Structure 1
Amino acid sequence: MDRFAPKLVTVFGGSGFVGTQLVQLLARQGYRIRVAVRRPDLAGHVRMFGSVGQVLPIQANLRDRASVERAVRDAEIVINLVGIGAEAGKQTFRAIHVEGSTNAARAAKAAGAKTFVQMSALGVAKAAEASAWAKSRLDAEAAVLETFPTAIVVRPSLIFGQDDGFFNLMGALARIFPVMPLIHGETRFQPIYVGDVAEALLLAAEGKVKTGRVYELGGPEIETHKALMQRILREAGRKRPLLPWPAGLAKFTAAVFSFLPFKPLITEDQVELLAVDNVVSDEAIREKRTLAAFGIKPESMDDILPSYMWRFRKNGQFGRNSDKSGSGGAASSGSIVA
């Protein structure tokens, strides 16, 4: 490799929600970027984030070692963002999260990469006993750190931003449903802006934080699931009652959904996850393994959500959001900056 050429970065899953934000940051820093995805023909949009030839989508499947090895060849930095929310066929939690992450870490080490960054999820340690998804994420972290001891693992909480999968989905459902189901309403979350997650990943890739550690990333507010749903209704300008949905009934409904020929709104595993707090741990705060270690001041939901949640109002951006109190009660259960 030409030692005077810009550094090469391979980003597995670089065409997704977080990946597109990260690729833009990497391109602005002058890196050459391989966006490793299963379907490069569907990832052409990432090319526009850099100059001609700077960003290249390539085919790679974490379950296929040969394709992973090709994807990381000559790369100095390897970042793995791949994750699935539900199992389908060969795309199992173990195959993608554990075996796939191990394949990426081994290939990166064999290729001589200096840095490996793994994105996981906040709360997996607490949820591992009840959730197969969380268990696979936690096992993936251990496998990566065993294979690549200087790797950096980041665990973001619920991520929000223009194309997020939670706030947009709930906003869309609020337009359709006369009532909104609420599962485990007292569970706490610490949502974080996608731009802050991408910046933390960039700084990790550039060696700006200590290696061989797991970092927990949360935003400036901690809110219960109920408060988040109230916030969504407020931002969407919708008045919908929140109907407490027993976990047993939710799991039964999820089991029925699993037999339908389309992506389920919720799975049994996700019902279990909703029972576990998703906030930065006291241990991570004491050990300075939080967003503060990256020197990032997190964006608040108040500043970001209105920029895209207006699409769910009756009259779009021209609609007036008169319901400032949400759907009954305070919008927050507390706040913290970690």
Structure 2
Amino acid sequence: MFRGKKVTVFGGSGFIGRNIVRELAQQGARVTVGCRDVEGAKHLKVQGVVGQVTPVHVDVTKGDGIAAALEGADMAINLCGILFESGRNRFDAVQGTAAGVIAAEAAKAGVTKFVHVSAIGADENSASRYARSKAAGEAAVKGAFPAATILRPSIVFGPDDDFFNRFGGMAETMPFLPLIGGGHTKFQPVYVDDVARATFAALTSDAAEGKTYELGGPTIYSFKELMELVVAQTGRKCRLIDIPFWLASLEATFLELLPTPPLTRDQVVLLKSDNVVSEGAATLQDLGITPTACEAILPTYLDRFRPGGRYNRFRAA
């Protein structure tokens, strides 16, 4: 299906994007990767044969390079998103306005299939600016490209994720892990390869056109249960300490001053709502995909945080 096709991937140098680009290249697609840091994305070239994967400069906050990246494309994927704001990278600009511009340019370029990756919790009425911008992006995409497929994953895990690796690193260096709001918020972590498979299914299925799918793994966990998984997989003796929302928000006020804040006030707001697949939503199973459990994958990369490192796992146990 992808052999000989040109697929443009916006945000393809990010965590989810790197996995999608690799699989597209292996399936014979010609891949154009739209990103701000072309130099930093050059490692993607080795995912295919010479000339198969091409990073190009795109600044979605200005609209620069979007049309050029889509020239001659058969399919397009938008993965652009940010976890916190900095400089021109504002939630509304990157996740709201830019999504609509990309979809409109894709329609103008004659793209036949378009997949937009949003997030569970996208809601125009949310107290979170992140969630509101995700909802705005979905609306803009639907308005510009009605046949687009929208994918809403829960937190995405995999070897180079930002979630489990972050807390694994904390377990390695700190005597405790925080349970914000008591750790009661529920999540449904989804494996990055399953998100990639869902993207490919959406690109190859006429039945997926115009639909929205919520992507979650086979198990719902509380935040506390996820931290217990991290402790178990790293072999660290960390205490789990309750941090009330008000205190977490106060701490985030200062953490936001860092170049890469580990926590923001908007993220604290997000943690007040569960991040799980909605009842009645179309899911991975509707795309023909059996979700992968955390427990099957986490041992393959969290073991590096064990005492003595990856190659000392048995002594640590």
| Count of residues in Structure 1 that have an aligned counterpart in Structure 2 | 313
Normalised to the residue count of structure 1, the TM-score between the two structures is 0.90
2:181 is aligned with 1:188: no
1:139 to 119, 136, 139: 136
Q: 1:128 to 1:319 in 2, by over 3 A?
A: farther
What is aligned with 1:326?
none
Equivalent AA in structure 2 for residue 168 of structure 1: N
Among 306, 309, 315, which residue is 2:308 paired with?
Answer: 315
In the alignment, which residue of structure 2 is the partner of 1:238?
A: 236
SS at match of 1:221: coil
Amino acid at match of 2:156: I
State the 1:39 CA deviation. Answer: 1.1
- Tell me, yes or no, if structure 1 residue 154 matches structure 2 residue 151: yes
TM-score by length of 2: 0.95
- Please give the alpha-carbon distance, in whole angstroms, between the structure 1 residues aligned to 2:161 and 2:298: 10
Cα offset, 1:104, TM superposition: 0.4
Name the % identity.
Answer: 42
Distance 1:176 1:239 in 2: 11
What do the CA deviations read for 1:102-148 (whole angstroms, capped 9, x no partner)?
110011011111111100111223x8421000000011001101110
In the alignment, which of 32, 35, 38 is matched to residue 37 of structure 1? 35
Counterpart selection for 2:127 from 125, 130, 154: 130
3-state SS of 2:194 partner: helix
Q: CA deviation at 1:26?
A: 0.9
Q: CA deviation at 1:28?
A: 1.8
Report the counterpart of residue 11 of structure 1 in structure 2.
9
How far apart in 1 are the matches of 2:113 and 2:40? 27
Contact 2:61–2:88, Cα closer than 8 Å, also in 1: no
1:216 alignment partner, SS class: strand
TM-superposition CA deviations, 1:166-204 (whole Å, max 9, x none): 100000011111121110311111001101101111111
- Match of 1:65? 63
Aligned to 2:198: 200
Letter in 2 for 1:49: Q
Distance 1:59-1:35 versus aligned 2 partners, 3 A rule? same
2-structure distance, mates of 1:152, 1:89:
30
Shift of residue 69, structure 1, vs aligned partner: 0.7
CA RMSD of aligned residues (A): 1.5
Deviations 1:197-230 (A, max 9, x none): 0111111122364211110000011110000001
Map of 1:228 onto structure 2: 226
Which string of whole-angstrom CA distances, capped at 9 and with x for unpartnered residues, describes residues 62-115 of structure 1? 123341111111111010001001111211000111111111001101111111
- Which one-letter code corresponds to 2:158 in the other structure? G
Query: 2:289: which partner in 1?
Result: 296
Q: Distance in 2 between matches of 1:14 and 1:162?
A: 17
> Match for residue 73 of structure 2?
75
Question: Quick one: which amino acid aligns to residue 26 of structure 1?
Answer: L
Find the aligned partners of 2:307 and 2:97 in 1 and give their Cα distance: 46
Distance 1:96 1:33 in 2: 22
The answer to whether residue 167 in structure 2 is matched with residue 174 in structure 1 is no
Matched-pair contact (CA < 8 Å) for 2:308–2:316? no
Give the CA deviation at 1:302: 1.1
Matches of 1:230 and 1:200, distance apart in 2: 29
Q: Is the 8 A contact 2:10 2:78 kept in 1?
A: yes
Counterpart residue type for residue 162 of structure 2: G
Q: Secondary structure at the match of 1:79?
A: strand
CA distance in 1, matches of 2:67, 2:38: 16
Q: Which amino acid in the other structure matches residue 57 of structure 1? A: P
Report 1:98-137 matches (<5 A).
98-125=96-123, 128-137=125-134
Separation of aligned partners in 2, 1:240 and 1:321:
18
Structure 2 gap ranges (5+)? none
Distance 1:301 1:245 in 2: 25
Aligned to 2:47: 49
- Offset, 1:47: 0.7
Equivalent residues in 2 for 1:243-262 (5 A)? 243-260=241-258, 262=259
Superposed CA deviations along residues 20-53 of structure 1, whole A, max 9, x for unmatched, are 1111111122111101100111111111111111
CA separation in 1, counterparts of 2:316 and 2:45? 41
What SS does the corresponding residue of 1:65 show, helix, strand or coil? coil
Find the counterpart in structure 2 of residue 95 from structure 1.
93
